[in-house]
A and B are shown apart, each in its own frame.
Chain A
Amino acid sequence: GENVEQHPSTLSVQEGDSAVIKCTYSDSASNYFPWYKQELGKRPQLIIDIRSNVGEKKDQRIAVTLNKTAKHFSLHITETQPEDSAVYFCAASITGANSKLTFGKGITLSVRP
């Protein structure tokens, strides 16, 4: 089955700096890669996703890049703010009738004011 790994497990940045969170996956057939954000004590929520037919997707201060050859994808957050502090989960899946998301273990991002 699919194996998704996230690096690093924790990340601390200064407010205003950029943060990059990386994920690797094992199944070359995976073609859908979402990122979920979970604030302390809250539920995970989708913040951005990318499909294998594109290499990059942006939404305001966040962007995701995908390298299918190397089987890794990254979340980029620019101009970080304290409210960006959270746990970020990447995931991967193969679209289809039996598609299931496999999540990474999560990365804790801390933005220092």
Chain B
Amino acid sequence: IAGITQAPTSQILAAGRRMTLRCTQDMRHNAMYWYRQDLGLGLRLIHYSNTAGTTGKGEVPDGYSVSRANTDDFPLTLASAVPSQTSVYFCASSTRVGDYEQYFGPGTRLTVT
């Protein structure tokens, strides 16, 4: 793989179910991010990780959790999905935290019914 990938591409999920969105990058970037994109609201940061082993909360972290066990992977988990979590989710990475270009994955379209 080259760059940053996400899986699944899309998912329909029943409310109350648990779901993990996967994100993998092969650029050896230290920093990784999860955003959600909703019409009219732009890109909002959910969680981020400055380096493997550390994570932090973004603007809209409630209902989501992340882990960063290694440099390449940064999964996002919805413990008990709710309809308001219907969105397009983008994972991104950058060389380091700060004023560096963020490279985005292709996105995951999640619908919670």
Contact = CB atoms under 8 A, between A and B. Distances in A.
Given A43-B90, A44-B104, A104 B42 contact: yes
A99 B42 contact: no
Contacts of B50: 97-98
Interface residues of A, number: 25
Interface string B69-104: 000000000000000000000100000011101101
Contacts of A49: 99, 101
Interface in A93-113: 93, 95-106
A99 B97 CA distance: 6
B7 interface: no
B27 interface: no
B98 to A, nearest CB: 4
B24 to A, nearest CB: 15
User: In terms of DSSP, what is the predominant structure of the interface of chain B?
Assistant: loop
A100 B58 contact: yes
Contacts of B56: 98
B42 A43 contact: no
A76 interface: no
B40 interface: yes
Contacts of B105: 43
In this complex, the member of B35, B45, B90, B99 whose beta carbon has the largest number of chain A beta carbons within 10 angstroms is: B99
Nearest to A103: B43
Contacts of B98: 32, 93, 95-97, 99
A89 B107 contact: no
A106 B42 contact: yes
Nearest to B43: A103
B40 A105 contact: yes
10 contacts: A43-B104, A43-B106, A44-B90, A44-B104, A98-B56, A99-B97, A100-B45, A100-B58, A100-B97, A102-B59
Given A43-B104, A105-B42, 16 more contacts: A31-B99, A34-B99, A34-B102, A44-B43, A44-B90, A44-B104, A45-B104, A46-B101, A46-B102, A95-B99, A98-B56, A99-B99, A100-B48, A102-B59, A103-B43, A103-B44
